[in-house]
Amino acid sequence: MISEVGNFTFVIIGALHVLNLIVGLRALAHPSGPAASLQSSISRMLVLLYALVLISLMAALVLNNFDLKFVAQNTNLATPLIYKIVGVWGNHEGSLILWQFIMCAYLAVMVVKPAGMPAEVHRLALLLMGFLVALFYGFSAGLANPFEGNGTIPPGSGDLNVLLQDVGQVIHPPLLYLGYTASASTFAIAVATLYRKNLDLDWASWLRPWALLSWTMLTAGIALGSFWAYYELGWGGWWFWDPVENLALLPWILGTALVHSLQTVRVKKQLLGWAMLLAVLTFLMVLFGTFVVRSGLLTSVHAFAADPDRGLYLLLMLVIVSAVGLIAFATGASRITQTQERLRANREGMLLLNNLFLMTLFSAVLAGTLAPTIIEVLGGDTYVVRERFYIPTFVYPSMALIALMGLGVWTRWGVVGFKKHRVLGATLSTLIIVVSILAIWAELPLAAAFMAVLGGWLILSTGLAWARQFNGAWVFELFPLRKHGWALAHVGLATVFLGMGSSVLLTQERIFEYAGADQKELYGETINIRPRLWIAGENFQSLATAFEVEGRGVKLSETRLYHPRALLMDPANSIDDRTFLAENARITSEAAIFRGVWFDTFINVQDRAGAAPIVTIAKKVGVNWIWFGAFLMTIGGIVSIWPARWQPR
């Protein structure tokens, strides 16, 4: 019954999308007429109906309604309740519904017209946003309908991807979707503005909240994904240069450039055309990533199954939306009047240079992501872009950007020169020389050493510049909150760099074969290794090894075997039963991590067929600073969005 309600609601949503487009065209001609009021009502109604569809899908999973193909593929009787619920967005069909729900929620927020926005621009932005949601709805209804009946999949044979059966699944995908879809609002407002004859408007203030929201949510989502991979994939890395990771990073880089460009637009009326182009390109890059991931064009642990029909629809959608955005920019950019940009040692010059470096990073990631596919299409051998490509093309320019940021915070709008701040340049130069000598002498990775030092440099420089804004009074003023956002974001990025550099530079690792109960003296700690044992989970069997670090407790490193039969098996069963289970199971590796402020003790046991397990014990220095820095960046973004009217008076 619940699934029937959801299916009927999904059909009603389609009719409302069509009605919304028709009414939106009418409202565009008469912005103050009854059509405008109806358009706003439909936008709000869509949010409620999409919420009902999501609830019905959750109910279908929880109640094991295997009559739906969506349910039969993504759950079984043994799947824990929490992963039935969040399993809605752990697959192709359900994640698209969540995507559309968030877009409709943003559409409902956009109904409130920003101050100073002309009515015709507002109505066109709503029409464009509604059009984008309708395109995604057409994709779901035609090629990814979650209410499709099940005629081939045996009930209870499916399950949520075992790598997604983790608490990270609860929040990681929604955060990314919140970021991706916020860029659609930026796109809609930018394009609507570009189609207006008179562009001498304060459009930067309309774009800024959406651009900041997109950047903030993507920052949080990407960081959480990195943290999830660190403890889930078994070898303790925090970035893998996986194609889908890169495709999430690309709109984040463009969004970073957009946020900084909008600041220049607001203060100096420069980079206007560039900011508009970034607003368009950021969402187009989101669509491009969606096409690549959901068509199966690239191979990745994150990618969905390949489907030529889905890929063709998404490619067509990308072409249509690109045409709308780029034609609007081509016709509207010539009407933008702005002062000439010059690369000088002032705030606007530094932000221009900031954008140039960001575009260098964007180009490197895009090239590294697409190169293997292009080479293969041209008839070349299978090619994998590894870390050594990104070090000179991404890491080195990133370090130059961090150094630039440390100097840039001391510049002023319209005032050229660093005459009052020569000490900063001298400090940076001294640090570079000292670190170079020490790294070469100690045979340490030079890039990692620079990353750590530049992170510390940016923290120092930003902290001093932040304190300067209180006019030398050295009295902390909390409100307005927005004036602290930039400092939190910059210190957060510096902390990320400090953590990355320290992790690469100072991490130590010991690898050996498991030989039963033992005691190791490593990194100044006593580590007791206990015998292995089988543990029965809710829907898995786990071969676990307990490790005790004196003064830090006991943790388990597990090899988990997920299988519908696992629930029926008793830990006392014979090894033959376990062998059968292992041959038919999906396996994950769970590390034992003893967390600390300064370092983690990371322990993982890797099982091998016909051989003793391999134990890896690593001391990962500064690794948690990476995610603490990302947390500060996220808080900085939230603070920067915080409306001025919400401040106490």
For 599-639, write each residue's pLDDT tens digit. 999 999 988 877 888 999 999 999 999 999 999 999 999 99
Q: What's residue 470's pLDDT?
A: 66
Q: Tell me what the mean pLDDT of segment 476-495 comes to.
A: 82
Which helix (H) or strand (E) segment is 72 a member of? helix 69-74
Q: What is the DSSP letter of 137?
A: H
Which contacts (CB < 8 Å, 24+ apart) does range 540-549 have? 540/162, 540/566, 540/585, 541/566, 541/569, 541/571, 541/578, 541/581, 541/585, 542/590, 543/607, 545/514, 545/592, 545/605, 545/613, 545/615, 547/592, 547/603, 549/525, 549/594, 549/601
What is the distance between the alpha carbons of residues 236 and 599, in angstroms, rounded to a whole number? 13
What is the distance between the alpha carbons of residues 18 and 127, in angstroms, rounded to a whole number? 11
Q: Tell me what the mean pLDDT of segment 242-252 comes to.
A: 92
Q: Tell me what the mean pLDDT of segment 190-204 comes to.
A: 83
How many Cβ atoms sit within 10 Å of the Cβ of residue 444? 15
List the single range of 58-72, 86-100, 289-303, 315-329 with lowest mean pLDDT. 289-303
- Using alpha carbons, select from 276, 254, 396 the residue that is nearest to residue 338: 276
Q: What is the DSSP letter of 68?
A: B
For 215-239, write each residue's pLDDT tens digit. 999 999 999 999 998 988 767 788 8
List the single range of 247-251, 478-482, 604-608 with lowest mean pLDDT. 478-482
pLDDT at 287 over 50: yes
* Edge-to-edge order in the sheet of strand 611-621: 508-513, 611-621, 599-608, 592-594
pLDDT at 90 over 60: yes
Work out the pLDDT band at 466, boundaries 50, 70, 90.
confident
Q: Tell me what the mean pLDDT of segment 395-421 comes to.
A: 79
Q: Tell me what the mean pLDDT of segment 95-105 comes to.
A: 96
E strand segments, 331-441: none
**Residues facing residue 540 across a β-bridge:** 562
Task: Tell me if the bond preceding 480 is cis, omega within 30° of 0.
Answer: yes
For residues 457 and 226, the model is more confident at: 226
Q: What's residue 568's pLDDT?
A: 43
- Using alpha carbons, select from 284, 326, 320 the residue that is nearest to residue 186: 284
What is the distance between the alpha carbons of residues 566 and 561, in angstroms, rounded to a whole number? 8
- Using alpha carbons, select from 121, 62, 105, 114 the residue that is nearest to residue 87: 62
- Please list, residue by residue across 453-466, b when 16 or more beta carbons sit within 10 angstroms of its beta carbon and e when fewer do: bbbbbbbbbbeebb
For residues 563 and 347, the model is more confident at: 347
Contact assessment for residue 63 and residue 97, using Cβ atoms and an 8 Å cutoff: no
List the single range of 338-352, 468-482, 582-596 with lowest mean pLDDT. 468-482
- Report the predicted TM-score, pTM, of the whole model to 2 decimal places: 0.92
Work out the pLDDT band at 421, boundaries 50, 70, 90.
low
* Edge-to-edge order in the sheet of strand 553-562: 518-522, 525-536, 540-549, 553-562, 586-590
Give Cα separations from 111 to 16, 40, 60, 114, 123 (angstroms). Answer: 16, 6, 32, 9, 9
List all residues 6 or more positions away from 172 whose beta carbon is below 8 Å from its beta carbon.
221, 224, 225, 228
What is the distance between the alpha carbons of residues 603 and 47, in angstroms, rounded to a whole number? 45
Q: What is the DSSP letter of 407?
A: H
Q: What's residue 221's pLDDT?
A: 96
Q: What's residue 303's pLDDT?
A: 54
- Using alpha carbons, select from 486, 468, 454 the residue that is nearest to residue 635: 486
Contact assessment for residue 169 and residue 90, using Cβ atoms and an 8 Å cutoff: yes
Give Cα separations from 257 to 38, 215, 254, 488 (angstroms). Answer: 37, 10, 5, 17
Contact assessment for residue 101 and residue 51, using Cβ atoms and an 8 Å cutoff: yes
Work out the pLDDT band at 576, boundaries 50, 70, 90.
very low
For 513-539, write each residue's pLDDT tens digit. 988 888 998 888 899 999 988 888 888
Q: Which two tokens stand for residue 40?
A: 């706003």
Rank 143-147, 209-213, 295-299, 582-586 by mean pLDDT and report only the highest: 209-213
Work out the pLDDT band at 451, boundaries 50, 70, 90.
confident
Counting DSSP H helices and E strands in the chain, the numbers are 19, 9
For 123-176, write each residue's pLDDT tens digit. 999 999 999 999 999 999 999 999 988 777 777 677 888 888 888 889 999 999
For residues 314 and 540, the model is more confident at: 314
3-state helix, strand, coil in the chain (%, to 5): 65, 10, 25
Chain mean pLDDT for the chain: 85
For 356-373, write each residue's pLDDT tens digit. 999 999 999 999 998 888
Burial of 511 (0-12, 13-18, 19+ CB in 10 A): exposed
Work out the pLDDT band at 581, boundaries 50, 70, 90.
very low
pLDDT at 418 over 60: no
List the single range of 174-188, 239-253, 382-396, 557-571 with lowest mean pLDDT. 557-571
List the single range of 186-190, 584-588, 604-608 with lowest mean pLDDT. 584-588
Contact assessment for residue 608 and residue 602, using Cβ atoms and an 8 Å cutoff: no
Q: Tell me what the mean pLDDT of segment 496-510 comes to.
A: 88
Three-state SS sequence of 316-362: HHHHHHHHHHHHHHHHHHHHCCCCCCCCCCCHHHHHHHHHHHHHHHH
Share of the chain above pLDDT 70, in %: 86
- Please list, residue by residue across 580-610, b when 16 or more beta carbons sit within 10 angstroms of its beta carbon and e when fewer do: ebbeebeebbbbbbbeeeebbbbbbbbbeee
Q: Which two tokens stand for residue 117?
A: 């926005």
Query: What region, left, alpha or beta, does residue 75 occupy, with left being phi > 0 and alpha being psi -120 to 50 degrees?
Result: beta
List the single range of 67-76, 108-117, 573-582 with lowest mean pLDDT. 573-582
What is the distance between the alpha carbons of residues 85 and 617, in angstroms, rounded to a whole number? 35
Give Cα separations from 429 to 271, 326, 454 (angstroms). Answer: 31, 43, 11
Q: Tell me what the mean pLDDT of segment 415-429 comes to.
A: 61
